[in-house]
């Protein structure tokens, strides 16, 4: 098994706000991220895929192709956008880094041909805070079938 990571970057605005709570509770839970008039982050995105090296190419997967997939299905939809308002695949979701990472996974996973598998979406919200998502349990269980 070998792993390949593509690093990407996007800027976006958001706010964290649960519409079922009063404003005070939102401010208590989310702090500055509840700011009504939005704020921005410089997100760093690490997309890691895994699989076996193809004997004919020496590649796990064409890194340029991976870059194009990320651009088309993720970056073009998120970069310089308001995540709460502009992004169809984040509608009705709390735009936390956790939920954004999970949504990015869902955006990419249909486009990776077997036997290449998505391994991890790692998303930095700030240089000191990041999340890692390794997919739903069902995907990881399936993954074990391909491991030696
Ligand atoms: Ni924020």
Q: Where are the domains of the chain?
A: 2-141
Residue 104 CA, chain-centre distance (Å), reads 3
**Active-site residue 33, yes or no?**
yes
Average pLDDT over residues 48-64: 95
Cα(34)–Cα(10) distance, integer angstroms:
21
User: What tens digit of pLDDT does each residue of 1-41 get?
Assistant: 999 999 999 999 999 999 999 999 999 999 989 999 999 99
The predicted model gives 63-83 an average pLDDT of 97
State which fold the 2-141 domain adopts. Answer: Tetrahydropterin Synthase; Chain A (3.30.479)
Radius of gyration of the chain (CA): 17
**Distance, CA 92 to ligand 1 centroid (Å)?**
17
Give mean pLDDT, residues 99-112. Answer: 97
Separation of CA 134 and ligand 1 centre (Å): 22
Is residue 118 very low, low, confident or very high in pLDDT (cuts 50, 70, 90)? very high
In contact, 61 and 4? CB cutoff 8 Å: yes
98 is catalytic: no
Active-site residue, from 8, 33, 73, 119: 33
Active-site annotation holds for 80: yes
Over 90: is that where the pLDDT of 120 sits?
yes
């Amino acid at each position: 098994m070998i792993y390949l990571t593509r690093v990407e970057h996007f800027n976006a605005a958001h706010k964290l706000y649960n519409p079922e709570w009063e404003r005070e509770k939102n401010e208590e839970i989310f702090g500055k991220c509840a700011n009504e008039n939005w704020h921005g982050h410089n997100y760093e995105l690490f997309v890691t895929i895994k699989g076996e090296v193809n004997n004919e190419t020496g590649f796990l997967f064409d890194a340029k192709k991976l870059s194009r997939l990320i651009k088309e299905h993720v970056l073009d939809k998120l970069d310089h956008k308001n995540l709460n308002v502009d992004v169809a695949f984040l509608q009705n979701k709390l735009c936390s880094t956790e939920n954004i990472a999970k949504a990015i996974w869902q955006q990419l996973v249909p486009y990776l041909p077997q036997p290449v598998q998505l391994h991890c979406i790692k998303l930095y919200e700030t240089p000191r805070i990041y999340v890692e998502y390794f997919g739903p349990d069902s995907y990881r269980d399936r993954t074990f079938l391909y491991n030696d």
